């Protein structure tokens, strides 16, 4: 059952469970769908999608997986809709913020990225979002000295008052440059029980975090205070669990190989990250998939814990 909260054709609809939770002041956590449709193989993606929703519930919050289906932005998917998003033949586009208008207006379907998920979550009244990694400034390809490839996630976070819980940026990105962009856009960056900024598959990028926090109550207090004075989001960087961290030597080798692969295929734009991640998954024998799953589970659990604090 859906509760439509904006008129066609630009529709935003919440599941009855999510709508009831928000109306009653219960904690809700937004979840993206691109990680399911584009980041994990069929079969496993549905298992992970269900596991993420179960993890949020076990922590005392309501999950709101977000996607666009048949011209409707859905905040909270039914079991059937989740299966559709994860189906091998789903054929869903990857929707960043710039894509929402055209796809909604033309009745299309797609999976939401960090940028579009954050904006749709905020539009629905959800202030906490758990995901795997944040997009950022891409590393220059071999032979190049600069890049203009910057994820829309950063602009969305600069303008959307949502807490994003992730394991930092994917280590295939230029992390120092990305942190500079976040600073310029007044996005607080917090490290959860760490003094060093994580880099997705690795617990540390070697860079310090501006602020360390050690429990969900501290995070909730910072988010509440920030929202009194700014419209930007907050980034909570939660390192991958120690037992799930990739071997650093393997990681560095795969990254170098992946960048060479991207350059040799002349891949650019939104296609860069999927190609790099596919190389990681294939060349690591599935180790990166395991790491990806465990870090996102840890992140949505932490997101739910913070959401519960904010709702209390």
What burial letters (b/e) apply to 287-298, b meaning 16+ CB within 10 Å? Answer: bbbebbbbbbbb
Same domain? For 188 and 79 the reply is no
C-beta of residue 165 within 8 angstroms of C-beta of residue 136: no
For residue 81 the two structure tokens come to 């809709």
Can you give the pLDDT at residue 170? 77
Same domain assignment for residues 165 and 303: yes
Q: Binding residue per annotation — 151? A: yes
Q: Which of 258, 208, 280, 259 is nearest to 237 (CA)?
A: 208
Tokens of 301: 């659990």
For the chain, strand residue ranges (E) read 2-4, 11-15, 28-31, 62-69, 72-75, 93-95, 110-112, 128-130, 163-166, 189-192, 211-213, 234-237
pLDDT for res 255: 87
Q: What range defines the domain where residue 117 resides?
A: 1-126
- What is the pLDDT at residue 76? 98
pLDDT at res. 148: 66
Of 126, 148, 181, the residue at which a domain comes to its end is 126
Same domain, residue pair 45 and 139: no
Residues 95 and 143 in one domain: no
158 is in an annotated binding site: no
- Residues 155, 35, single domain; the answer is no
Residue in 17, 47, 83, 170 annotated catalytic: 170
Residues 85, 169: one domain?
Answer: no
Identify the domain boundary among 75, 106, 126.
126
Rounded to whole angstroms, what are the CA distances from 154 to 42, 246, 260, 301? 29, 26, 26, 23
CATH code for the domain in which residue 120 is found:
3.40.1790.10
The DSSP H or E segment spanning 307 is: helix 287-311
pLDDT digit string (tens) for 251-272? Answer: 999 988 988 888 888 877 667 7
149 is in an annotated binding site: yes
Residue where one domain finishes, among candidates 82, 106, 126: 126
How many domains are contained in the chain? 2
pLDDT in tens, 121-171: 999 999 999 999 999 887 766 566 666 677 889 999 999 999 999 999 877
pLDDT value at position 267?
Answer: 79
Q: What is the DSSP string of 214-272?
A: -SHHHHHHHHHHHHHH--S-EEEE-PPPGGGPPPHHHHHHHHHHHHHHHHHHT--GGGH
Query: Is 94 assigned to a binding site?
Result: yes
Question: Is residue 138 domain-shared with residue 11, that is, in the same domain?
Answer: no
In this structure, are 58 and 151 located in the same domain?
no
Query: Are residue 108 and residue 177 in the same domain, yes or no?
Result: no
Q: Report residue 298 CA to chain centroid gap.
A: 13
270 among annotated binding-site residues: no
Tell me the mean pLDDT per 10 residues along the chain, length 312: 52 95 98 94 96 98 98 97 96 94 95 97 98 85 66 93 94 88 96 96 94 98 96 97 94 89 80 81 90 97 98 95
* 170 in catalytic set: yes
Q: Are 193 and 307 members of one domain? A: yes
- Contact present, 59 and 304 (Cβ < 8 Å): yes
Q: 247 and 190, same structural domain?
A: yes
Q: Is residue 206 classed as helix, strand or coil in its secondary structure? A: coil
145 labelled binding-site residue: no
Q: Count of H helices and E strands in the chain?
A: 12, 12
108 and 257 co-located in one domain: no
Residues recorded for the chain? 312
């Amino acid at each position: 059952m859906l509760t439509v909260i904006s008129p066609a054709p630009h529709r935003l609809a919440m599941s009855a469970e999510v709508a009831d939770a928000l109306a009653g002041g219960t904690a809700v956590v937004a979840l993206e769908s691109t990680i399911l449709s584009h980041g994990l193989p069929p079969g496993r993606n549905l298992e992970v999608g269900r596991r993420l929703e179960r993890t949020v519930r076990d922590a005392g919050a309501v999950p709101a997986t977000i996607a666009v289906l048949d011209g409707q932005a859905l905040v909270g998917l039914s079991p059937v809709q989740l299966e559709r998003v994860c189906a091998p033949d789903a054929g869903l586009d990857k929707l960043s913020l710039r894509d929402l208008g055209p796809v909604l207006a033309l009745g299309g379907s797609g999976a939401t990225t960090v940028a579009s998920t954050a904006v749709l979550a905020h539009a629905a009244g959800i202030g906490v979002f758990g995901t795997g990694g944040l997009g950022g400034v891409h590393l220059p390809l071999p032979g190049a000295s600069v890049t203009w490839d910057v994820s829309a996630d950063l602009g969305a976070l600069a303008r959307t008052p949502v807490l994003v819980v992730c394991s930092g940026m994917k280590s295939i990105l230029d992390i120092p440059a990305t942190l500079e962009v976040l600073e310029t856009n007044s996005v607080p960056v917090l490290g959860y029980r760490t003094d060093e900024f994580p880099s997705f598959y690795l617990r540390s990028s070697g860079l310090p975090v501006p602020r360390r926090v050690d429990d969900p109550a501290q995070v909730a207090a910072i988010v509440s205070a920030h929202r009194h004075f700014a419209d930007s989001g907050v980034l909570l960087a939660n390192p991958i669990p120690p037992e799930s961290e990739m071997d650093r030597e393997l990681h560095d080798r795969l990254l170098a190989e992946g960048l060479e692969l991207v350059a040799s295929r002349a891949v650019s734009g939104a296609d860069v990250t999927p190609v790099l991640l596919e190389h990681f998954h294939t060349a690591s024998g599935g180790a990166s998939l395991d790491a990806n799953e465990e870090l996102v589970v840890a992140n949505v659990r932490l997101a739910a814990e913070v959401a519960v604090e904010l709702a209390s």
